Amino acid sequence: MTQIVGALPRVTAAERARILAAPRTSEANGALMGSIPAMTALEQGGTPARDALPRSFTVAAWNVERCLFPQESADHLTEHAPAIVLLSEMDSGMARTAQKNTSAEMAVALGMTYAFGVEFYEMGLGGETERDFCTDDFNAAGWHGNAILSSVPFEKLALIRLDQKGHWFCTGPQSAGDTGQPRLGGRMAVAAIVPADTGPLCVVSTHLESNAQAPYRHAEFARLLAAVDDFAPGLPVLIGGDLNTGNHMPPDFDWRKETLFALAEEQGYSWDLTAEGTTTRASLITPHPTRKMKLDWFASRGVAGAALPVLPSIHESGRPLSDHDCMLCRVTL
């Protein structure tokens, strides 16, 4: 059962020493995750603006790429007034984002409540292009993960682990451990049940593995759908996030080769709330102007609505806020 806390407990010096000294194996990753309290908890904070969602409302799903600029990112969404925001790649206590709790800062700026869960404990300062943004030579907490921002209270919350293999912790040909970004943890989702005028709704923010092939993501998504069925049986569901579809299928990065789409459809889900077009762009951290992929999606079951145009992640100042554009949809219950 997921523990809900006001602030995630930080890794102690003794725990960090154990992590750094541990063998880089999936078994060690799993054992360490079980011993770190923040890996099985969700942080909840902020204040909701209303008691229940109306019959029709806007939802945003956005990979904010560490969230270098939480206030500007929140401002970027204000015009669209989303009632639910599904976020991935959010930092808390990382030097590259000035040690900020980026989910909390965005929630305050938007007048929302939030739930944040840890995908990875970052053992270093991040990749080479991220280190230019570091304000310190240490991470105060080292948390990196996913979040849900909501204009209404959470009735129930869950942290759903999708990968226990330690893909970014291990070393070897099937791992991501040689990327210069050593991490403890694995891909995950945050799920919430929220009240609406028509009854409760389950919303999910997730992030699938980038450094793997389609079968790996298929297995992660299968675990997610099964967990959602257990968490919110019979409820309408909206899943949003960076599914990394086609990420390791160069040179065309063809998302249509992924099998998770058919998997979801077989279980009654629709992808119709996802806008057409690619969702990546060059950013301050990922300066690759030719990198064009469709990674971000909404999967829904038991809800109606329509896809809205993709929101470019370019601030009015001209500065890119992320290497992902923001997905928007209009949900009708």
Q: Give the model confidence (pLDDT) of 42-61 as tens digits.
A: 999 999 999 999 999 999 99
**Confidence class for position 98, pLDDT limits 50, 70, 90:** very high
Q: Which residues contact 70 (CB under 8 A, 6 or more apart)?
A: 97, 100, 102, 105, 106, 109
Residue 165 clears pLDDT 90, i.e. is over it: no
pLDDT value of residue 289:
78
What's the confidence (pLDDT) of residue 174?
61
How far apart are alpha carbons 170 and 164 in whole angstroms? 11
pLDDT score of 63 more than 80:
yes
> CA nearest 218: which of 258, 248, 250?
258
Banded model confidence at residue 182, pLDDT cuts 50, 70, 90? confident
Strand segments, DSSP code E, in 133-187 are 143-150, 156-161, 183-185
Which pLDDT value is given to residue 166? 87
**According to the model, what pLDDT value does residue 288 have?**
83
The whole-angstrom separation of Cα 250 and Cα 238 is 29
Distance CA 69, CA 322 (A): 9
Task: Please report, as a single letter, which amino acid is at residue 22.
Answer: A
pLDDT for the residue numbered 203? 99
Mean pLDDT of the chain: 95
Distances (CA, A) of 238 to 59, 60, 210: 9, 11, 22
**What is the Cα–Cα distance from 128 to 137, expressed in whole angstroms?**
13
**Predicted confidence (pLDDT) at residue 177 exceeds the cutoff of 70:** no
Neighbours of 268 (CB within 10 A): 11
Report pTM: 0.97
Per-residue pLDDT at 269? 98
Q: What is the CATH number of the domain that holds 210?
A: 3.60.10.10
56 vs 211, which has greater pLDDT? 56
Residue 95's identity, in one-letter code, is A
Residue 235 CB: number of other CB atoms within 10 A?
15
Total number of domains constituting the chain: 1
Nearest residue to 88 (alpha-carbon basis) of 117, 125, 53: 117
pLDDT of residue 163: 86
What's the pLDDT tens digit per position in 270-317? 999 999 999 999 999 999 877 899 999 999 999 999 999 999 999 999
Tokens 């541990």 map to which residue?
Answer: 22
DSSP 270: B
**For residues 238-254, average pLDDT:** 91
Give the per-residue pLDDT at 247.
87
Domain that includes residue 246, residue range:
3-332
Residue type, 103: S
pLDDT at position 1: 84
Q: Is the pLDDT of residue 173 over 70?
A: no
